[in-house]
């Protein structure tokens, strides 16, 4: 088990439906990282922006973006994660892909479709919550609108890090910051939220406001509004475990079963 991990989040103004330009941007940012990194977190639909025209950009798991992620992971000896548009079995998915340093792939399909934008009409929802085991850490990866649903994020698996990646508009940015802190506090877990900046083709404005929060709800790393940049922090598992043991809040959680 590795007690501490260095987590990087990259906040970016995504180029609409242009995987080549977005991948070039993220690769340049990654190449400029100056210190050892264990995990890189990218925004939701980081190659395209939050598009409702998946037929324009969809890839399979064997195509360019996943291969690029594997190349980055192996070259830099870190894990990398972000969500992309995937076509599989005649369905489209908003799929979070997590690549280990070895190139091993794990994935999570967004559970809660953003009905306000019609996501449920074009993307198939996932039904499985996953826990990723990485360097002795248990990581729960979720996507954007999942943030509004605390039952889905509930820490019944004793995870150590909760990840949200998003295209969360500036009009509801207060909810983004408030709910990220709520999820961190109620689950006593490090929580990272990586959002995009800029304006998309539908004229929705995004301010970023990416942040990393500790298990008590304290901000330990943030990015400014509209900033294109890198969020960075070192997380310590023994400190989180000690507070969980001392306070014992997770021992009193309710148990439940989800029905789909």
Any domain includes 62: yes
- Residue 144 catalytic? yes
**CATH number for the domain harbouring residue 104:** 3.60.110.10
- Residue 177 catalytic? no
pLDDT in the model for residue 258 = 84
Any domain includes 33: yes
> What number is the average pLDDT over the span 192-202?
97
pLDDT digits (tens, 9 = 90+) for 68-91: 999 999 999 999 999 999 999 999
- Give a three-class secondary structure readout of the chain: CCCEEEEEEEECECCCCCHHHHHHHHHHHHHCCCCCCCEEECCCCCCCCCCCCHHHCCECCCCHHHHHHHHHHHHHCCEEEEEEEEEECCEEEEEEEEECCCCCEEEEECCCCCHHHCHHHHCCCCCCCCCEEECCEEEEEEEHHHHHCHHHHCCCCCCCEEEEECCCEHHHHHHHHHHHHHHHHHHCCEEEEECCEEECCCCCEEEECCEEECCCCCEEEECCECCCEEEEEEEEHHHHHHHHHHHCHHHHCCCCCCCC
pLDDT in the model for residue 131 = 98
Any domain includes 259: no
Q: Is the pLDDT reported for residue 260 higher than 80?
A: no
pLDDT in the model for residue 34 = 85
Domain count, the chain: 1
Which of 29, 106, 140, 144 is an active site residue? 144
- Residue 63 catalytic? no
pLDDT in the model for residue 247 = 97
Any domain includes 257: no
Any domain includes 202: yes
Which of 44, 59, 106, 119 is an active site residue? 44
Any domain includes 258: no
Show the domain range for 244: 4-252
pLDDT digits (tens, 9 = 90+) for 112-158: 999 999 999 999 999 999 999 999 999 999 999 999 999 999 999 99
pLDDT in the model for residue 157 = 95
pLDDT confidence of 252, banded at 50, 70, 90? very high
Which of 17, 106, 110, 129 is an active site residue? 110
């Amino acid at each position: 088990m590795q007690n501490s991990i260095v987590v990087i989040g990259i906040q970016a103004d995504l180029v609409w439906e242009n995987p080549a330009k977005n991948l070039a941007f993220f690769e340049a940012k990654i190449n400029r990282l100056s210190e050892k990194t264990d995990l890189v977190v990218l925004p939701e639909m980081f190659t395209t922006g939050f598009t409702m025209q998946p037929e324009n950009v969809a890839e399979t798991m064997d195509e360019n973006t996943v291969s690029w992620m594997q190349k980055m992971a192996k070259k830099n000896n870190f894990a990398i994660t972000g969500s992309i548009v995937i076509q599989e079995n005649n369905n489209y998915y908003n799929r979070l892909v997590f690549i280990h340093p070895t190139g091993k792939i794990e994935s999570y399909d967004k559970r809660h479709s953003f009905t306000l934008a019609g996501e449920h009409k074009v993307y198939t929802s996932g039904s499985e919550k996953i826990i990723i085991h990485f360097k002795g850490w248990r990581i729960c990866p979720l996507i954007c609108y999942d943030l509004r649903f605390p039952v889905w994020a509930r820490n019944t698996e004793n995870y150590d890090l909760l990840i949200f990646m998003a295209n969360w508009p500036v009009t509801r940015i207060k909810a983004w910051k408030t709910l990220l802190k709520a999820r961190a506090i109620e689950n006593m877990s490090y929580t990272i939220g990586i959002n995009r900046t800029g304006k998309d083709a539908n004229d929705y404005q995004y301010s970023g406001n990416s942040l990393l929060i500790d298990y008590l709800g304290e901000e330990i790393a943030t990015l400014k509004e509209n900033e294109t940049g890198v969020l960075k922090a070192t997380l310590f598992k023994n400190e989180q475990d000690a507070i969980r043991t001392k306070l014992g809040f997770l021992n009193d959680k309710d148990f439940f079963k989800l029905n789909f």
